[in-house]
Protein backbone atom coordinates (compact mmCIF):
# COMPACT_ATOMS: atom_id res chain seq x y z
CA UNK A 1 0.00 0.00 0.00
CA UNK A 2 1.21 3.50 -0.81
CA UNK A 3 2.49 5.10 2.43
CA UNK A 4 0.54 8.34 1.82
CA UNK A 5 -2.78 6.49 1.60
CA UNK A 6 -2.55 4.04 4.51
CA UNK A 7 -5.73 4.11 6.56
CA UNK A 8 -7.57 6.52 4.25
CA UNK A 9 -11.09 5.83 3.04
CA UNK A 10 -11.44 5.36 -0.68
CA UNK A 11 -14.26 7.29 -2.34
CA UNK A 12 -15.89 6.15 -5.56
CA UNK A 13 -16.90 9.27 -7.46
CA UNK A 14 -17.47 10.53 -10.99
CA UNK A 15 -14.24 11.13 -12.88
CA UNK A 16 -13.21 14.68 -13.74
CA UNK A 17 -10.67 15.91 -16.29
CA UNK A 18 -8.30 16.60 -13.39
CA UNK A 19 -8.36 12.87 -12.55
CA UNK A 20 -6.99 11.73 -15.92
CA UNK A 21 -3.25 11.97 -15.10
CA UNK A 22 -3.73 9.96 -11.89
CA UNK A 23 -5.94 7.40 -13.63
CA UNK A 24 -3.36 7.10 -16.41
CA UNK A 25 -0.57 6.49 -13.87
CA UNK A 26 -2.66 3.80 -12.15
CA UNK A 27 -3.38 2.19 -15.54
CA UNK A 28 0.33 2.01 -16.37
CA UNK A 29 0.99 0.38 -12.98
CA UNK A 30 -1.78 -2.17 -13.59
CA UNK A 31 -0.35 -2.97 -17.03
CA UNK A 32 3.11 -3.52 -15.53
CA UNK A 33 1.66 -5.88 -12.90
CA UNK A 34 -0.97 -7.76 -14.92
CA UNK A 35 -0.59 -7.09 -18.64
CA UNK A 36 -3.97 -5.28 -18.61
CA UNK A 37 -4.83 -3.60 -20.80
CA UNK A 38 -3.41 -5.25 -23.89
CA UNK A 39 -3.53 -1.83 -25.58
CA UNK A 40 -3.61 1.83 -24.64
CA UNK A 41 -0.65 2.16 -22.29
CA UNK A 42 1.36 4.16 -24.82
CA UNK A 43 -1.27 6.93 -24.61
CA UNK A 44 -3.21 6.13 -21.43
CA UNK A 45 -5.13 9.40 -21.09
CA UNK A 46 -6.45 9.06 -24.63
CA UNK A 47 -7.31 5.38 -24.05
CA UNK A 48 -9.29 6.41 -20.97
CA UNK A 49 -11.22 8.97 -23.06
CA UNK A 50 -12.77 7.10 -26.01
CA UNK A 51 -15.73 8.40 -27.98
CA UNK A 52 -19.18 7.88 -26.54
CA UNK A 53 -18.46 7.98 -22.80
CA UNK A 54 -21.66 8.06 -20.77
CA UNK A 55 -19.94 8.21 -17.37
CA UNK A 56 -16.63 7.31 -15.77
CA UNK A 57 -15.74 6.83 -12.11
CA UNK A 58 -12.55 6.79 -10.10
CA UNK A 59 -11.55 5.31 -6.78
CA UNK A 60 -9.95 8.22 -4.93
CA UNK A 61 -7.90 7.39 -1.87
CA UNK A 62 -6.84 10.58 -0.16
CA UNK A 63 -6.37 12.39 -3.49
CA UNK A 64 -4.58 9.49 -5.21
CA UNK A 65 -6.48 7.78 -8.02
CA UNK A 66 -6.28 4.02 -7.40
CA UNK A 67 -9.07 2.71 -9.63
CA UNK A 68 -11.26 3.46 -12.62
CA UNK A 69 -14.34 2.25 -14.48
CA UNK A 70 -16.50 3.62 -17.26
CA UNK A 71 -19.49 2.95 -19.43
CA UNK A 72 -20.02 4.21 -22.95
CA UNK A 73 -22.40 4.01 -25.86
CA UNK A 74 -21.98 0.96 -28.11
CA UNK A 75 -19.39 1.32 -30.87
CA UNK A 76 -19.86 -2.00 -32.69
CA UNK A 77 -18.36 -4.27 -30.00
CA UNK A 78 -18.77 -8.02 -30.47
CA UNK A 79 -20.28 -8.38 -26.99
CA UNK A 80 -22.96 -5.81 -27.85
CA UNK A 81 -23.81 -7.56 -31.13
CA UNK A 82 -24.01 -10.86 -29.26
CA UNK A 83 -26.34 -9.43 -26.61
CA UNK A 84 -28.61 -7.73 -29.15
CA UNK A 85 -28.96 -11.00 -31.08
CA UNK A 86 -29.77 -12.94 -27.90
CA UNK A 87 -32.07 -10.38 -26.28
CA UNK A 88 -33.68 -8.79 -29.35
CA UNK A 89 -33.16 -5.50 -27.53
CA UNK A 90 -31.92 -2.31 -29.21
CA UNK A 91 -28.55 -0.60 -28.85
CA UNK A 92 -30.14 2.42 -27.18
CA UNK A 93 -30.79 0.19 -24.14
CA UNK A 94 -27.15 -0.95 -23.86
CA UNK A 95 -24.06 0.57 -22.25
CA UNK A 96 -20.58 -0.88 -22.68
CA UNK A 97 -18.57 -1.45 -19.51
CA UNK A 98 -14.87 -0.74 -19.98
CA UNK A 99 -11.60 0.47 -18.54
CA UNK A 100 -12.07 -1.19 -15.15
CA UNK A 101 -8.91 -1.49 -13.10
CA UNK A 102 -7.61 -1.15 -9.56
CA UNK A 103 -3.99 -0.27 -8.82
CA UNK A 104 -1.97 -3.11 -7.28
CA UNK A 105 -1.47 -1.26 -3.99
CA UNK A 106 -5.24 -0.82 -3.50
CA UNK A 107 -6.44 -4.34 -4.20
CA UNK A 108 -8.33 -6.53 -1.73
CA UNK A 109 -10.40 -3.54 -0.60
CA UNK A 110 -13.46 -4.30 -2.75
CA UNK A 111 -12.83 -1.34 -5.04
CA UNK A 112 -13.44 -3.27 -8.27
CA UNK A 113 -16.86 -4.29 -6.99
CA UNK A 114 -17.66 -0.75 -5.85
CA UNK A 115 -16.65 0.68 -9.24
CA UNK A 116 -18.78 -1.88 -11.07
CA UNK A 117 -21.68 -1.19 -8.72
CA UNK A 118 -21.47 2.54 -9.63
CA UNK A 119 -21.71 1.58 -13.32
CA UNK A 120 -24.63 -0.82 -12.68
CA UNK A 121 -26.49 1.82 -10.65
CA UNK A 122 -26.02 4.45 -13.35
CA UNK A 123 -27.13 2.02 -16.05
CA UNK A 124 -30.19 0.91 -14.10
CA UNK A 125 -31.18 4.54 -13.41
CA UNK A 126 -30.98 5.19 -17.18
CA UNK A 127 -32.74 2.00 -18.35
CA UNK A 128 -29.55 0.38 -19.68
CA UNK A 129 -27.97 -3.06 -19.47
CA UNK A 130 -24.17 -3.15 -19.15
CA UNK A 131 -22.44 -5.41 -21.65
CA UNK A 132 -18.70 -6.02 -21.58
CA UNK A 133 -15.94 -8.35 -22.55
CA UNK A 134 -12.99 -9.41 -20.46
CA UNK A 135 -9.84 -11.11 -21.66
CA UNK A 136 -10.06 -14.83 -20.90
CA UNK A 137 -6.62 -14.59 -19.24
CA UNK A 138 -7.97 -12.15 -16.61
CA UNK A 139 -9.36 -14.80 -14.27
CA UNK A 140 -9.79 -12.49 -11.25
CA UNK A 141 -11.96 -10.12 -13.29
CA UNK A 142 -14.07 -13.01 -14.58
CA UNK A 143 -14.61 -14.25 -11.01
CA UNK A 144 -15.59 -10.73 -9.93
CA UNK A 145 -18.14 -10.31 -12.74
CA UNK A 146 -19.66 -13.72 -12.02
CA UNK A 147 -19.80 -13.00 -8.28
CA UNK A 148 -21.69 -9.78 -9.08
CA UNK A 149 -24.34 -11.72 -11.00
CA UNK A 150 -23.24 -10.95 -14.53
CA UNK A 151 -24.33 -13.54 -17.06
CA UNK A 152 -21.92 -15.02 -19.60
CA UNK A 153 -23.35 -14.50 -23.07
CA UNK A 154 -20.54 -15.99 -25.14
CA UNK A 155 -16.94 -15.63 -26.26
CA UNK A 156 -15.26 -13.43 -28.83
CA UNK A 157 -11.84 -12.53 -30.16
CA UNK A 158 -10.59 -9.13 -29.01
CA UNK A 159 -8.51 -7.62 -31.80
CA UNK A 160 -5.89 -5.00 -30.99
CA UNK A 161 -2.58 -3.59 -32.19
CA UNK A 162 -1.30 -4.83 -35.54
CA UNK A 163 -3.83 -7.63 -36.04
CA UNK A 164 -3.21 -9.30 -32.68
CA UNK A 165 -6.06 -11.27 -31.11
CA UNK A 166 -6.87 -12.55 -27.65
CA UNK A 167 -9.81 -14.62 -26.41
CA UNK A 168 -12.48 -12.71 -24.49
CA UNK A 169 -15.51 -13.71 -22.43
CA UNK A 170 -18.64 -11.57 -22.92
CA UNK A 171 -21.03 -10.67 -20.10
CA UNK A 172 -24.27 -8.76 -19.50
CA UNK A 173 -25.27 -7.17 -16.21
CA UNK A 174 -28.08 -8.54 -14.07
CA UNK A 175 -31.52 -7.02 -14.54
CA UNK A 176 -31.56 -5.55 -11.03
The answer, as to whether pTM is greater than 0.85, is yes
Nearest 10 degrees: Cα torsion 117, 20, 1, 113: 10
Query: pLDDT tens string for the chain (176 positions)?
Result: 444 445 566 899 999 999 999 999 999 999 999 888 887 788 999 999 999 999 999 999 999 999 999 999 999 899 999 999 999 999 999 999 999 999 999 988 899 999 999 999 999 999 999 999 999 988 989 999 999 999 999 999 887 778 888 899 999 999 86
Residue 94, domain member (yes or no)? yes
Q: Mention every residue, 6+ apart, whose C-beta is less than 8 A from residue 92.
A: none
| Spacing of C-alpha 140 from chain mean position | 13
The whole domain housing 116 covers: 8-172
How do beta strands 94-102 and 151-160 pair?
Answer: unpaired
CATH number, domain of 153, equals: 3.40.630.30
56 neighbors 65 (Cβ within 8 angstroms): no
In a domain, 3, yes or no: no
Other Cβ atoms closer than 10 A to 6:
10
Question: Using CA atoms, how far apart are residues 157 and 163, in angstroms rounded to an integer?
Answer: 11
Q: How many CB atoms lie within 10 A of CB 143?
A: 10
> Residues with Cβ < 8 Å from 19, sequence gap 6 or more?
58, 60, 65
* Rounded alpha-carbon distances, angstroms, from residue 14 to 61, 70, 140, 144, 169: 14, 9, 24, 21, 27
Does residue 2 fall inside a structural domain?
Answer: no
Q: How many domains does the chain have?
A: 1
Strands 94-102 and 129-135: parallel
Pairwise CA distance, residues 111 & 163, whole Å: 33
Amino acid sequence: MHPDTVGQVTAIRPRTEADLPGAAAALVAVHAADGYPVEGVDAPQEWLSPAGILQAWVADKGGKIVGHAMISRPQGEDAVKMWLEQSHDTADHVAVGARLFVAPEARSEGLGERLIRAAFDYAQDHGLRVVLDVMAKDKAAIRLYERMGMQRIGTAKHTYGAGQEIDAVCFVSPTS
